[in-house]
Amino acid sequence: MKRRRLYLILLAAAASACRVVGVPQAGPPAPRGGARPVTPAAPGRRFEEVRGLWVVRSTLESPERIEDMVAQAHQAGFNTLLVQVRGRGDAFYRSRWEPRSEELAGAPAGFDPLALVIREAHARGMAVHAWVVTNLVWSGDALPRSPDHIVNAEPDWLAVPRELGRELYRVNPFDHRFVEALLHYAATHTRTVEGLYTSPSSPGAQERAYDVCMDLAEHYDLDGIHLDYIRYPSADFDYSRGALERFRTWVAARLAPARLQELDGAFEKDPYAFVDALPGPWGEFRRAQITQLVERIYNGVKARRPNLLVSAAVFADAQEAYTNRFQDWREWLKRGILDVAVPMAYTDDEARFRSEVREAVASAGRGERVWAGIGAWINTFDGTLHEIDIARHEGVGGVVLFSYDWASSEGPAAGGVPYLERVGRARFGRR
């Protein structure tokens, strides 16, 4: 094991050096468990303009729906599919780490949604990126059925809102009251949270997200890994006992001995003593947890598959992302630990859309490192077309529409022509 770790460290260093000097890079190491590594003949699919679709997991429930999706997307002129294969702490692929999604209960046991998407899309020259939801791990009203799901197996990894932090501080996470309280909070705060989240500072949760991405990179002929919910749900998180104690340890070295002793005394009575007294460092700590995970995933992917793109769906308002979601994506681009940012510029306000896309391009330094995320469901058809035009004018590397699922089921047809095909005819030169 020690020899393998040393090998991976040396390989990562070599890959980093190769990227700098431009020499050929080493191939991926053999995956764990003796599985054969993926060695695609081509260095990943690259397009002058990415024309992407986010594909939500509901479309992956049957072979027929997948085949129809790929055919429709290709016919309309889209060339890149971001496919949600980790939706809520579960798997729409053959995972070593997480349970098969409950939504696949009616599908054949041997059905591998991701493998089928890749086969169908690559046959048409399209790229496939594995869309991985990182910190949001459950959004159901009841507990997951599988005992192996994070919520059931690792409740101590879950994030806690400030409103419940003191109440749950001394409650054992394996006590049913702990998760029930989080479920109730999510059900009564649907405007601000979408379910249960893992704590970004939890070593176990970070390791799981990393392992999921490495599993995908090692075993599937992907063109990229696409990270989502790589952030805190809001500034009201995470007040779990583990996070509060980790912050105390993290910040202790920065404090004068007398100040540390004072806060330690207060901490014995109030678990919020450190976070309330040190709001600036508390924000820095949370931001550091997200950046650390992005960097680790990026380096791990590049060590295995140097040509895979690592992208992330990010809050388009960079200041909101930085301040309240602790998602410093501008820094990720600057440091080169993210290949592409996909700002979710979901608005029908064209001036706002233009401003957010322009800021992202300026932050990236090069337009090809930005794909503009367009909220088709929130726009008129013409509004979506105008935003594609704006994104192109700002020099982005491509556009990604949210989402295939909305467009295929609710997107209005005209003259019998489906929504996506109308987009393709209007902007992608399809006939």
Give tens-digit pLDDT for 218-246.
999 999 999 999 999 999 999 999 999 99
Give the rounded percent of residues in the chain with a pLDDT score beyond 70.
89
* pLDDT score of 23: 26
Structure tokens given for 317: 């308002």
Name the nearest CA neighbour of 50 among 311, 415, 317. 311
Judged by DSSP in three states, 258 sits in helix
| Strand partners for 53 | 81, 401
Which run of H or E residues covers position 266? Answer: helix 257-267
Mean pLDDT of the chain: 90
Closest CA to 365 of 390, 391, 399, 330: 330
Strands 309-315 and 50-55: unpaired
Residues contacting 144, CB < 8 A, separation 6+: 89, 90, 99, 102, 138, 151, 152
Asked if residue 139 lies in contact with residue 194, where contact means CB atoms within 8 angstroms, the answer is yes
Strand residues in 260-357 grouped as ranges (E): 309-315, 340-345
Angle between helices 203-219 and 279-304 (to 10 degrees): 20
6 against 270, higher pLDDT: 270
Would you call 386 exposed, middle or buried from its count of C-beta atoms within 10 A (0-12, 13-18, 19+)?
A: middle
- Do you know the residue count of the chain? 431
- pLDDT, residue 46, reads 79
Please state, in angstroms and rounded to a whole number, the distance separating the CA atoms of residues 7 and 78.
39
- Six-digit token pair at 94? 């053959």
pLDDT for residue 282 is more than 60 = yes
Q: Is residue 35 predicted with pLDDT exceeding 80? A: no
10 Å CB burial of residue 200 (0-12, 13-18, 19+) is buried
265-270 average pLDDT score: 98
Residue 38, pLDDT above cutoff 80 = no
| Distance from C-alpha of 122 to C-alpha of 222, rounded to nearest angstrom | 10
Rounded Cα distance, 88 and 56, in Å:
11
Total-model pTM: 0.89
Task: State how beta strands 371-375 and 398-402 pair.
Answer: parallel
**% residues pLDDT > 90 (the chain):** 86
